[in-house]
């Protein structure tokens, strides 16, 4: 029975990962399925944005997004998704956020972190949102932290241009609003 469960889990992963970045709106999935160890979730790219899985892997990210007609390298504003696994050092969303904020502020004393309103996801979760201003690189970032049983999903908007950052806020809110946690995947032993 244990082997059957493992085989079914592996088969699910293979089927889903083969199509993870090739979703067609007519096939019933409203967005792109992102899979990893202990998680799977759906994101729908905002209108006028492209989700790119091949670039994401090379950046140690789960997904990257940029405006149509641009690229990850050339875009003025970008968005990305990454996942932090909870462990003994970071067992809660609060510890993940605290660690992220502390690491950020160590880089430059003039950098700032601010509170932002909570955003709701498609599956009715509350994403904790923080604003980051990197004084060294003059970079603006808005980060949504979403708590799941074994991971914290991070969705971020980033830009070195304040006007482009502000123009992209509605797209970021749409991305967070599209988030839907599918299931906690069984970890093979």
Predicted confidence (pLDDT) per residue in 166-177, tens digit: 999 999 999 999
Tokens, residue 32? 């792109």
Residue pair 122/180 in contact by the 8 Å Cβ criterion: yes
The answer to whether position 186 is within a domain reads no
More confident residue, 138 or 2: 138
The answer to whether position 17 is within a domain reads yes
Which pLDDT does position 109 carry in this prediction?
87
The answer to whether position 189 is within a domain reads no
Assess whether pLDDT exceeds 50 at residue 144: yes
Residue pair 65/78 in contact by the 8 Å Cβ criterion: yes
10-19, 103-112, 130-139: range with lowest mean pLDDT: 10-19
Assess whether pLDDT exceeds 80 at residue 75: yes
- Give the dihedral of Cα atoms 171, 165, 132, 127; nearest 10 deg: -10
The answer to whether position 188 is within a domain reads no
Overall domain count for the chain? 1
Question: In 45-125, which ranges are E strands?
Answer: 49-52, 63-67, 77-85, 112-120
32-36, strands of its sheet edge to edge:
32-36, 39-43, 180-181
> Residue 176 is part of a domain; what is its CATH number?
3.40.1000.10
What per-residue string of b and e applies to 29-38 under the rule 16 or more CB within 10 Å gives b? eebbbbbbee
Question: In the chain, which ranges are E strands?
Answer: 32-36, 39-43, 49-52, 63-67, 77-85, 112-120, 126-134, 139-147, 151-159, 180-181
Assess whether pLDDT exceeds 90 at residue 29: no
Tokens, residue 16? 């889903």
The answer to whether position 187 is within a domain reads no
The answer to whether position 8 is within a domain reads yes
Which pLDDT does position 27 carry in this prediction?
43
Distance CA 134, CA 183 (A): 34
The CA–CA distances, whole Å, from 77 to 70, 71, 87, 131, 184 equal 10, 10, 32, 15, 31
User: pTM value?
Assistant: 0.84
Which pLDDT does position 23 carry in this prediction?
42
pLDDT in tens, 105-118: 999 989 999 999 99
Distance CA 62, CA 43 (A): 11
Q: pLDDT tier at 187 (50, 70, 90 boundaries)?
A: low
Which pLDDT does position 37 carry in this prediction?
85
Domain extent, residue 42, equals: 2-181
């Amino acid at each position: 029975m244990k082997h059957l469960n493992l085989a079914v889990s592996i088969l699910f992963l293979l089927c889903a990962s083969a199509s993870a970045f090739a979703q067609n709106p007519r096939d019933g999935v409203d967005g792109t399925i992102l899979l990893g160890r202990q998680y799977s979730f759906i994101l729908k790219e905002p209108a006028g944005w492209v989700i790119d899985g091949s670039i994401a892997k090379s950046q140690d990210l789960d997904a990257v997004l940029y405006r149509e007609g641009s690229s990850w390298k050339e875009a003025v504003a970008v968005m990305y998704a990454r996942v932090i696994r909870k462990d003994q050092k970071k067992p809660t969303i609060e510890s993940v956020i605290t660690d992220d904020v502390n690491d950020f502020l160590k880089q430059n004393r003039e950098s700032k972190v601010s509170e932002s309103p909570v955003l709701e996801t498609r599956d009715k979760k509350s994403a904790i949102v923080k604003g980051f201003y990197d004084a060294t690189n003059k970079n603006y970032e808005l980060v949504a932290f979403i708590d799941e049983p074994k991971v914290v999903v991070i969705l971020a908007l980033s830009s070195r241009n304040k006007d482009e950052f502000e123009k992209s806020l509605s797209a970021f809110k749409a991305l967070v609003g599209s988030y839907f946690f599918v299931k906690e995947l069984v970890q093979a032993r």
